[in-house]
Structure 1
Amino acid sequence: MKENVASATVFTLLLFLNTCLLNGQLPPGKPEIFKCRSPNKETFTCWWRPGTDGGLPTNYSLTYHREGETLMHECPDYITGGPNSCHFGKQYTSMWRTYIMMVNATNQMGSSFSDELYVDVTYIVQPDPPLELAVEVRQPEDRKPYLWIKWSPPTLIDLKTGWFTLL
């Protein structure tokens, strides 16, 4: 009886190794959210690195909820930010609220989740750089020289809302 159980266990293990490992079919590796950026405090985008695909087609989805809420939402826009990204337009962006998000990778063999990432839009603002930057040294008569700096605002910035601040 013990020999039959041992034989069945070995057979099952070999069958698993043959169908999964030798064919390269495994659950997906753990994805990682590595960056979130807001150019203007009104929208933001997060990007992730996929884990290994386990040798199978793998689907990725980003889910999130806001701090204090329990209802989970799926990424509203997977296209605008490019591959492996989620973009939150104005209607999905709230200031002073923390977003708790994670990425789910799924294939035929199973699923894998990234670690949760806590995002407050206030802390991920990185405005686009100014355009047409020009620096001149000016020296009027009877005065010390000074630098004259001119620039144009980035093309995608919304100066009418007053969110953009130059430091």
Structure 2
Amino acid sequence: GVPPEKPTNITCWSKNTKDLTCKWNPGGEGESFLHTNYTLKYKLRWYGKENECQEMARAGPNSCYIPKDLALFTPYEIWVEASNKLGTAASDILSLDILDVVTTDAPFDVQVNRVGDLEDQLSVRWSSPPALRDFLFQAKYQIRYRVEDSTEWKVVDDIGNQTLCRLAGLRPGTVYFVQVRCNPVGIYGSRKAGIWSEWSIPTAASTPRNERSGGTCYQKSGESSSNLRRELKQFFGWVKKHAYGCAALNIKLYDQWRVWLQKSHKTRNQNQEVAVFIGLQEDSPGR
């Protein structure tokens, strides 16, 4: 056997500022034939006594959990000591403020609903984690979603602090699973990035079916109609490119356009059916 090498890569996080969990990597290849003990120690940077973390392996191997009695607005010094029969080694000291490593619970009451008859959109609403409602902070949210028969998630990360998002560019008549997570940024003025929560429980919803994809027979149209279709295709290509995810576009205008398109399409089909019927009547032998 050999003496232990110093542990590395200490990372810590606090759930709602109430506790602290830390993990680390053992130095070298770990125990190397001799049993090695690891002890996480911590103290306030400028004063206070040295403490030892008691709840080992709470978050898996090479981890320790401090459940209470933590100070805010004062940095801690944290390190890990490894020891066996042949010696002792200490990690580098990690200095951190509890407020800089806060994570929280996943958002709850996630609701996913259709947006009227718009076949390529879903509306997502959720509630902020209740444990942080009394804290001064600016939350960030992410959404991820996937179709029912896929394991590939698409992430929308430009949501900001709002608790409502419109997903656009979806497939008509398709079941989607949606999840949301929260990052409590800037608790009491902290300038650190924060740590993402776990994802919420998946919520499922389906987009409306595209009625125009049925077996309707369309008549040939003239050049003006062809130009209109081309303009519409360009418009939708632009909208889907710039309105992906939770867009800051004028959604009302987009909705009005889609509703108008659907109504005009139905009206055009009806007019074509009437024209065909009249043409058949005029061509009948009895006339």
| TM range, smaller chain | 0.5 to 0.7
Trace 1:89-108 onto structure 2 (pairs within 5 A): 89-91=67-69, 93-108=70-85
SS of the residue corresponding to residue 134 of structure 1 reads strand
AA partner of residue 124 (structure 1) = V
What is the root-mean-square deviation of aligned Cα atoms in Å? Answer: 2.7
* C-alpha deviation, 1:88, in angstroms: 1.8
How many percent identity over aligned positions? Answer: 33
SS in 1 for 2:102: coil
Match of 2:100 in 1: 123
134, 139, 145: which one pairs with 1:162?
A: 134
Cα pair distance change 1:39/1:61, threshold 3 Å: same
**More helix as a share of residues:** 2
How far the C-alpha of 1:96 sits from its partner, in A, is: 0.7
Contact 1:103 1:113 in 2 (8 A): yes
Q: CA deviation at 1:114?
A: 0.6
In structure 2, C-alpha distance between the alignment counterparts of 1:163 and 1:42, rounded to whole Å: 12
Residue 124 of structure 2 is aligned to residue 149 of structure 1: yes
Deviations 1:65-110 (A, max 9, x none): 101115211114225333221212232x111111101100000111
TM-superposed CA distance for 1:152, in Å, is: 5.1
Question: What does 1:38-77 align with in structure 2 at a 5 Å threshold?
Answer: 38-51=14-27, 52-69=30-47, 71-77=49-55
Conserved 8 A contact 1:41-1:163: no
Note if contact 1:33-1:117 (Cα within 8 Å) is conserved in structure 2: no
Change in Cα spacing, 1:72 to 1:41, as seen in structure 2 (3 Å) is same
TM-score, normalising length from structure 2? 0.41
- Report 1 or 2 for greater relative contact order, CA contacts < 8 Å, sequence distance ≥ 6: 1
- Give 3-state SS (helix, strand or coil) of 2:2's partner: coil
Shift of 1:29: 1.7
Structure 2 gaps, min length 5: 140-160, 162-287
CA gap 1:163/1:83 in 2 versus in 1, 3 angstroms: farther
Superposition deviation, residue 49 in structure 1: 1.1
Superposition deviation, residue 32 in structure 1: 1.6
2: CA distance, partners of 1:90 / 1:64: 13
Structure 1 runs of 4+ off > 6 angstroms? Answer: none
Distance 1:119 1:64 in 2: 11
Q: Verify: 1:135 aligned to 2:112, yes or no.
A: yes
**Residue in 1 that maps onto 2:4:** 28
Check whether the contact 1:33–1:46 (CA below 8 A) recurs between aligned residues: no
Change over 3 Å in CA distance of 1:164–1:38 after alignment to 2? farther
Distance 1:70 1:41, change over 3 A: closer
Correspondence for 1:88 among 63, 66, 70: 66
Unaligned runs of 5+ residues in structure 1 are: 1-24, 140-145
